Structure 1
């Protein structure tokens, strides 16, 4: 039997056609990273210190911001490194670590968006039961359950992958360590992993997605029954931000993972991957800030206060 050589380092090809504009690309991704971290941190700080925003919806929003910070920090620094360094090499351990935190943040996003949808469903369809169900303990339990389930399930899944034999080639034509490129490096039978991925995806991605769809069917039906136009507009405005974020998030995921990779060029796959790993964490705080008047008012007060302090100094 031929000896198998276990790979210890992985070459990430990243973006190979940007050498002429790499300084511009580096600047753009640097700005995206700074705005993403700054915007999500601002959401967390503003919601934490403003009593007017101490509601379940904004509490869940802070957790979504935490997930976005984890995802951006996991992906963007590696992209910046790949832009600067021509031969981007990452150890196999670091690759699996990056995959773990990427998968945790993506799974947490699915669960948190589902919990946020349930919050909107109760607020619009069951307003009399809202305060009774959506108390502080329930919200805290939902958040802890989302993070615990994401971290533990992804850990089991990651450990299963590490038990495979990886004997080369050690090149990944991507800008980060995603599941499919990692499995392509394995010389073991990956049937068990594929079955596990299918089951976990159904449990943590597909089922939450259908729960969100069914909830919004009830939400839209309830809104249409409101007699006044002003009432319908006010009710829809309370869930429009969440609906837009869900559309961006699941839209890109479906494009990347449901379209067969063999029929899709690698450049298109990379572009779609950028949408949910880079663009979505950037857009989430912007969407909620632009479409929520309560958050806008608090942000204006914070910015005005900082301006006065800086002007005084």
Structure 2
């Protein structure tokens, strides 16, 4: 679709940020910056611990390493732009806007598959403990971990090939903090029906099917755990799942709040700030959850901190 004679083709879009909170913008900017530093530090600490500690080179922690990498990249591709947009209206090229959205979707959707694979890992560990090393060997773990990335990038690439062909004519204002699919499609003057259909299909596949798999897996896990006669063994089995369950709850809770709750029931600013739940809260919580709830991570972290402390006082 070409622009009409009385319309100007848009090459740049204007992210409007937030209006009416001028006195609080420096505070919001500072908070976002500190949260971003905490997210990157926390998730790359997980990546470093798993990479350098031989005791953590098991499937559960290797998959956690993938999740931490996705969290750090998700925050990196959105939060710096979001912080700048809050301080002032930001201009960004249409290509740059769609590219940022492409990476945002990739790093977000891959977590759905990773969380599902991590639930399968917990299922094997609890329901087939004697065969765990055989079933979740290095090759299978590699295929499952990197397979999540390949599937996500393949699906998103198909959708975004179509999005890159969108025409934007007339208005160039996006009343949002960053480039998200809904506001961008509202701005486009092209037919977006195919992309909407693909987005719905992918959402069902990557979000709801993955969540259904996780729920079904944990129902079976809980049935097996409840059959264990020893209360100490039951408690230990539950504790191995707790961190992952909290992570799943935080991720899907924020995702449903943003993308399932009808946006027309919320004011524009509330709708913008609700996106912080998904972009900031989940990547920030995962390192905290696994550090507090997992003994191996805590021990590896304490060991690393002791080494740093010893070197600094020499």
> What TM-score, normalized to structure 1?
0.96
- Provide the rounded CA distance (Å) in 2 between the counterparts of 1:266 and 1:23: 20
Matched, 1:246 2:248: yes
Match of 1:283 in 2: 285
Mean alpha-carbon deviation: is it higher for 71-80 or for 19-28? 19-28
Matched, 1:231 2:219: no
Mean alpha-carbon deviation: is it higher for 9-18 or for 284-293? 9-18
Shift of 1:279: 1.3
C-alpha distance after superposition, 1:133-181 (max 9, x if no partner): 1000001011121111111211111111122222142111111111111
C-alpha distance after superposition, 1:34-53 (max 9, x if no partner): 11111111111111111111
Size of the alignment, in residue pairs? 311
Return the match for 1:110 from 98, 105, 112: 112
Return the match for 2:212 from 210, 213, 220: 210
Gaps of 5+ in 2: none
What is the aligned-residue RMSD (CA, Å)? 1.4
C-alpha distance after superposition, 1:266-288 (max 9, x if no partner): 22222221011111111111110
- Provide the rounded CA distance (Å) in 2 between the counterparts of 1:28 and 1:275: 14
C-alpha distance after superposition, 1:228-282 (max 9, x if no partner): 2211111011111110010011111112211222223222222221011111111
- Provide the rounded CA distance (Å) in 2 between the counterparts of 1:161 and 1:248: 29
Q: Secondary structure at the match of 1:204?
A: helix
Mean alpha-carbon deviation: is it higher for 220-229 or for 178-187? 220-229
Q: Does the 8 A contact of 1:168 with 1:186 survive in 2?
A: no
Return the match for 1:259 from 257, 261, 264: 261
Match of 1:23 in 2: 26
Q: Does the 8 A contact of 1:98 with 1:177 survive in 2?
A: yes
- Provide the rounded CA distance (Å) in 1 between the counterparts of 2:162 and 2:189: 14
C-alpha distance after superposition, 1:82-134 (max 9, x if no partner): 233x2211111111111011000011101111110100011112223321110
Match of 1:90 in 2: 92
- Provide the rounded CA distance (Å) in 2 between the counterparts of 1:152 and 1:9: 27
Distance 1:168 1:228, change over 3 A: farther
- Provide the rounded CA distance (Å) in 2 between the counterparts of 1:22 and 1:271: 13
Return the match for 2:183 from 181, 186, 196: 181
In the TM superposition, 1:128-207 aligns within 5 A as 128-207=130-209
